[in-house]
Structure 1
Amino acid sequence: MRLLLPAGTTETALIDGISAAGAAPELMAHTPSADVEILEYGEPVASPVTPVSPNGCPTPAAVTRAVREVVGFDVSVIDAGLSRPTAAPTVELGAEPGSDIRVESAVPDANAAFDRAYDYGASLPDDELLIGETVPGGTTTALGVLTALGEPTRVSSSLPTNPIERKRRVVEEALAASDLEPGDCDGAPLEAIEAVGDPVQPVVAGIAAGALESGTEVTLAGGTQMVAVAAALRQAGIDAPLSIATTSFVADEQGDRLREACERFDCELTVTDPGFDGRDHVAMRRYCAGEAKEGVGMGGALSLVPDGRMGEVRDRLETVCARLGIDDDEGAAETEPRTESDATAEGTRGP
């Protein structure tokens, strides 16, 4: 099994109050670059921050890395609009960082990114693929795309209390900036992404479309952001079998809405509970309190854990958190940037 991880950024993430993907807005652009290093090497090696929420919840990359260390799977990282460099090896598809969706064109190269990603997905030799994502602000852009497509709209959040009304106001402003009404992009998903999406979306959709049409089994590893991708694929006429794998944290927040959305887009749904409520560790407590919930392929990775081995994943998550500087005794995490010399001196480590 291979996990593909498109990683990118959008200036939408800088809008106040819509994302917890980083302890401070000025550090958020580093989050995807650090996420892919954590997944590849077990900790940041060039990125100057460890992504944590303001309350100290570690990035889902820590969970996905813990699963990888327990069960093992291959990873390929795709640069889908990174705005900061990363030491992790990446596949370059020419994607650019996304603009704030409240400008006229948030992803002007959406069509080209989709086409390049399609060719890449079609060329892969794998029989099965998990496709994840890391892009701060991605639930807001997902809401934008779903609204532009005229699909039922409800998305998750990395925050304990979903600021859904704030997101809807942002999407209203974004649609107005692109001279669109809800549903105006029905049947034209790349137009929706270009107007109010993020650069990770056409890359995920393109890879999935190319892989599916070449006969590869595809699971979208994520929550409501992947629902938006599934909607785009179905509206693009891709009717091959498709799955979504997410966490119990997303499913609990969304209730019946998630299952109904998967039924609408003819997607098999897998929900995995990692059993974090059985551990008294700051990271697991924050997840159980409703932070982060999903991202960096977390739900898909957890779905790979064989019966009886989830306890090993929880043990390993504690090890990964210690490596990341997350001190359970104090509930503290490394949120301040390291110096450039610190990052450089650490060099690169093997997986």
Structure 2
Amino acid sequence: MRVLLAAGATETALIEGISAAGASPELMAHTPAADAEILAYGEPTAAPVTPVSPTGCPTPAAVTRSVREVIGFDVAVVDAGLAEPTTAPTVDLGADVAPGADVREDEAVPDAAAIFDRAHGYGASLPDDELLIGETIPGGTTTALGVLTALGEPTGVSSSLPENPLERKRRVVDEGLAASDLEPGACEGTPLEAIRAVGDPVQPTVAGVAAGALESGTGTAVTLAGGTQMVAVAALLRHAGVDAPLSIATTSFVADERGAELEAACERFDCDLTITDPGFDAPEREHVAMTRYCAGEAKEGVAMGGALSLVPDGRMADVRDRFETVCDRLGIDAERGGEGGRGS
């Protein structure tokens, strides 16, 4: 099993009120790089920040890393428009992928088609029978809403915030579509145009890798590891004519927020859905990080839901134990939390 992480950035994350409170622009620029290092090494090695909300909720990378330390799996990180460098080993798709622009500009990802093509080639070259693809990009739920709206898909998105600012995101998307001279649904059947107008560079990367792996003829099973951002990728793939079997694996935290809408979207895009509960509300657990997840922070990201779905029966308690160890390594106090920020 290979877990692939597409790591990138979008200036959309800098729009006030759509990313996690307390996450400054300076910190958010380093979040994907730090996430990649945590997944690869267990802690940031060059990134100057550990992504932690002001209330003590760590990045989902801490959960995914905990699963990796318990059950083991291979990791590959793809540079999908990083704003800051990372020391984690990364895959270069053959040309510099720039961070995405603010979706309110006329073009958010001008080279969406080229990114997709290069990612498709990489995905087709992978030898794995099973591929689990995750993402890290602050602001990614807003760009997910952007492409869903451009495709004419009536599906909402989740948020790393306890209170989802969905109406604010819709206003941003409406401004973005107007700037690109598009109406909702104008990109039906042309997914790369949707990304170009109101998406982010992680989307063509994930979609391209998935399409390449699915179409390679090797029978690779692909799981999109994430929540509503991966629903958007599934929509992009289906609009691109990719009809191969596809799965989405996410957390109970996303399911608690989006519920029936998430299930309906997976049915619409013909995706198997796996929802995993890490049991952070277990009565013997009082760690602030687990409490914040149960309160609705973070919810998903960095392939968290997909990684949790790999945990064998009876081993989730081991993951919770290791999560506390990883949090301690990251400087997150069990009662008071830590400092930093992450959000989308």
- TM-score tier (shorter): over 0.9
Match of 2:248 among 244, 249, 253: 244
Deviations 1:200-245 (A, max 9, x none): 0000000000000112110000000000000000000000000000
Unaligned runs of 5+ in 2: none
Other-structure match for 1:141:
143
Secondary structure of 2:136's partner? coil
Question: CA–CA distance in 2 between the matches of 1:237 and 1:219?
Answer: 18
Aligned to 2:314: 308
Does residue 265 of structure 2 align to residue 261 of structure 1?
A: yes
How far off its partner does 1:24 sit?
2.2
Question: Could you tell me whether the CA contact under 8 Å between 2:53 and 2:338 is conserved in 1?
Answer: no
SS class of match (2:120): helix
Structure 2 partner of 1:33:
33
1:118 counterpart residue number: 120
Measured after TM superposition, the shift of residue 21 of structure 1 is: 8.4
CA contact under 8 A between 2:54 and 2:338: conserved in structure 1?
Answer: no
Task: Find the aligned partners of 2:19 and 2:67 in 1 and give their Cα distance.
Answer: 25
Matched, 1:171 2:176: no
Tell me how far apart the structure 2 counterparts of residues 228 and 97 of structure 1 sit (CA, whole Å).
19
Aligned residue for 1:129, secondary structure, equals: strand
Contact 1:79/1:91 (8 A) holds in 2: yes
What's the counterpart of residue 326 of structure 1?
Answer: 332
Look up the equivalent residue of 2:12 and give its one-letter code.
T
Q: What is the one-letter code of the residue matched to 1:249? A: F
Letter in 2 for 1:92: D
Q: How many Å apart are 1:322 and its aligned residue?
A: 0.3
Q: CA deviation at 1:56?
A: 2.0
Query: 1:195 matched to which residue of 2?
Result: 197
Moved over 2 A (4+): 21-26
Matched, 1:272 2:276: yes
Q: Structure 1 residues 227-236 or 48-57, which shifts more?
A: 48-57
Cα deviation for residue 53 of structure 1 reads 1.7
SS of aligned partner of 1:268: strand
Contact kept, 8 Å, 1:118 with 1:211, in 2: the verdict is yes
Distance 1:123 1:33, change over 3 A: same
Match of 2:132 among 127, 130, 145: 130
- CA displacement at 1:174 relative to structure 2: 0.4
Partner of 1:220: 224
- Following superposition, the deviation at residue 22 of structure 1 comes to 6.8
- Cα drift, residue 167 of structure 1: 0.2
Among 232, 236, 239, the residue aligned to 1:235 = 239
Instruction: Give the alignment's TM-score, normalised by structure 2.
Output: 0.96
Return closer, same or farther for 1:252/1:133 CA change in 2, 3 Å cut-off.
Answer: same
Query: Counterparts of 1:4 and 1:33 in 2: how far apart (Å)?
Result: 14
Matching residue of 1:70:
70
Letter in 1 for 2:42: G
1:289 — aligned with what?
295
Offset of 1:23 from its aligned partner? 3.0
SS in 2 for 1:255: helix
- Checking the alignment, whether the CA contact within 8 Å between 1:21 and 1:292 is kept in structure 2 is no
CA distance in 2, matches of 1:181, 1:192: 11
SS in 2 for 1:157: coil
Is the Cα–Cα contact under 8 Å of residues 7 and 78 in structure 1 kept in the other structure?
yes
CA distance in 2, matches of 1:185, 1:231: 12
Normalised by the size of structure 1, how large is the TM-score?
0.94
Letter paired with 1:318 = E
Of structures 1 and 2, the one scoring higher in RCO (CA 8 A, sep 6+) is 2
Say whether residues 1:43 and 2:48 are aligned partners: no
The one-letter code matched in structure 2 to 1:333 is G
8 A contact 1:67–1:305 mirrored in 2 = yes
What's the CA shift for 1:168? 0.3
Provide the C-alpha distance between the structure 1 equivalents of 2:24 and 2:198, rounded to a whole number of angstroms. 24
User: Is residue 20 of structure 2 the alignment partner of residue 13 of structure 1?
Assistant: no
1:334 positional shift: 3.5
The offset of 1:17, in angstroms, is: 1.0
**In structure 2, distance between residues paired with 1:20 and 1:218:** 30
Q: CA separation in 2, counterparts of 1:304 and 1:117?
A: 25
Letter of the aligned partner of 1:298 in structure 2?
Answer: M
The code of the aligned residue for 1:311 comes to A
* Structure 1: gaps (5+ residues): 337-351
Deviation, structure 1 residue 140: 0.1
Q: How many residues align?
A: 335
Asked whether the 8 Å contact 1:227–1:261 carries over to 2, the reply is yes
Structure 1 residues 21 and 245: alpha-carbon distance in aligned structure 2, compared to 1, 3 A threshold: farther
